[in-house]
Structure 1
Amino acid sequence: MKNIYSLAILLFLIGFSRQVVAQDDAAELAKKLANPIASLISVPFQNNTDYGIGELKGTRNTLNFQPVIPISINENLNMITRVVLPIVSQYNITGRGEQQGGLGDAVVSAFFSPTNSKKLTWGVGPALLVPIGTNDFLTTKKFGMGPTAVALKQMNGWTVGGLINQIWSVAGAEERPDISQMFIQPFFAYNWKSGAGIGANMEITQNWKSSTTTIWLNPTVSAVTSLGKQKASFGLGPRLNLAAPEGGKADWGWRAVFVLLFPK
């Protein structure tokens, strides 16, 4: 039933993107949305559902609340703040018949970026791991920090770039293992003037303490439209788990994204 529901959403999105009335600013909004450090206030809701995880064939649903707020420091410099707050529900992951749900730990980033980047758009700053998870299985119980950076180039409808951060734990519960973890996200997208687009990213997480690597490939189709006066974007696509720690790989998954846009 869930598979039928996912397919129905995909077909609806593809059909909907073809019927979107072209807006004068649709292409510009799509271009900014493809740029993680654009001067655009956005509130994304990214839902990831993964099936067949591990030996128990568990299921995990993660709704990431990801507000992005740019702040003008001066005429030459912006600070773009990003928050990733996961809301997790999982079954048959920690044990047969066991279920957990609640908030996971949040990652808060701030990118300092030049306002007039001509050839290459880039930003650097700090990333913080905030242990606000509400379940012992969904939190590290460690406060962490480290550097983050993003760089991208946009031309002729294309966006190509990558994001990286490295976080080390600096405080928290002594009984929990220390954290040294790198996250790498290469991405690309192509957007038409209508605001419709295709793209993909890879999410690579390297845990240096346990010497394990997790890799997801996320291709998506997307569309920018108006809901009344509210600008918004929709996206949908499969999730492919290319690598995972032993016993933790998923068979398949899907991603749906809804973004509220607040252009200046």
Structure 2
Amino acid sequence: MSKKLATASVLAMSSALTLGTSATAAEKSSEELAKQLSNPVAALISVPFQYNYDENIGPDDKGSRHTLNIQPVIPMDISEDWNLISRTILPIIDQTDIAPGSGNQTGTGDVLQSLFFSPKAPTENGWILGAGPAFLLPTGSDDLLTADKWGIGPTAVALKQSGPWTYGALVNHIASVAGDDDRADVSSTFLQPFLSYATPNGVTYGVNSESTYDWKGNEGAVPINFQINKVTKIGGQMIQYGAGLRYWAQSTEAGPEGLAFRLNFVLLYPK
């Protein structure tokens, strides 16, 4: 990671702590929103924009990638006791030299669409649960930005919120069912354990891993993310913003290595 990028990331993290001070009533609202944002199946409409930068990609470690994930979350009330949570991830990617001679590609990647059926009430032990199907849609605009496969599989989440703490895990597995016969089949597992702490003024400190394992290629990746986010209001719009560092504890043979960083901006529409 370049010195310039590392400096920018540290400055962004500092601003996430120092910008915006709320009145006492607003702080309580910010704390509750911060806890809801730590819950993947909360009944909260939100539109996150997540920017990621990774480098040292490819067999010669000369590649880099900018990814903007647009991730709308839409909860739907389907009965007195159940919600259906729609979570979509649309990546917009700009990458360079991820393989020798590959040059630059800019465009959309493949969409991951998840649907969680979630009870409105936690279990007797306080666990919040959700499960349903996940779909891989081959929306990539370039051969190097898509798997060119349609995929489907299960997804589930389990978490517990105790005071300011939220901890749990989200998992999915996607297997290809159709697509270009000349492209490799998809069989991939994603596991995201997470832990976060929300303060009364809407600041959240979080750590997670977004680990993946490719069962066809028999290789996995384990990035560890450290993030600081802040809930505040600009005009009449509630938002969350923040930044974080990522360390690739393990990567695939041609995957990213070393340090990377993330910026986060979320539009919030509380009921």
Q: Shorter-chain TM-score: which interval?
A: over 0.9
What is the aligned partner in structure 1 of residue 194 from structure 2?
Answer: 187
**Counterpart position of 1:172:** 179
Q: How does 1:22-171 map to 2 (within 5 A)?
A: 22=24, 23=26, 24-54=28-58, 55-96=60-101, 98-118=103-123, 119-171=126-178
SS in 1 for 2:141: coil
Aligned residues of 1:48 and 1:255 also touching (Cα < 8 A) = yes
On the 8 A contact 2:77/2:84 being kept in 1, the answer is yes
Partner of 2:207: 200
Q: For 2:7, give the aligned amino acid.
A: I
The aligned runs of 1:203-214 (5 Å cut-off) are 203-214=210-221
Q: Equivalent pairs: percent with the same residue?
A: 43
2:16 is the alignment partner of 1:9: no
Structure 1 unmatched ranges of 5 or more? none
Provide Cα deviations, 1:200-242, integer angstroms capped at 9, x if missing partner.
1101101000101011111101110001110000121101111
Note the alpha carbon deviations across 1:64-119, whole angstroms, 9 max, x for none: 00000000001101000000011011112122571111100000000000011141
TM-score when scaled to structure 1?
Answer: 0.96
Distance in 1 (alpha carbons) for counterparts of 2:241 and 2:9 = 14
User: 8 Å contact 1:183–1:205 — kept in the other structure?
Assistant: yes
| Alpha carbons 2:195, 2:208 under 8 Å: kept | yes
Deviations along 1:42-75, one digit per CA (max 9) or x if unpaired, are 0000110012223232211110000000000011
When structure 1 is superposed on structure 2, of 135-144 and 3-12 the one drifting more is 3-12
- Tell me whether 243-252 or 220-229 shows the greater mean CA deviation: 243-252
Could you tell me how far apart the structure 1 residues matched to 2:253 and 2:56 are? Answer: 14
Residues in 2 aligned to 1:111 and 1:143: alpha-carbon distance in whole angstroms: 19
1:192 Cα deviation after fit: 0.9
Give 3-state SS (helix, strand or coil) of 1:47's partner: strand
CA distance in 2, matches of 1:43, 1:195: 18
Deviations along 1:138-162, whole A, 9 cap, x unmatched? 1011000000000000011100010
CA RMSD, aligned part only? 1.4
CA distance, structure 1, for counterparts of residue 194 and residue 53 of structure 2: 20
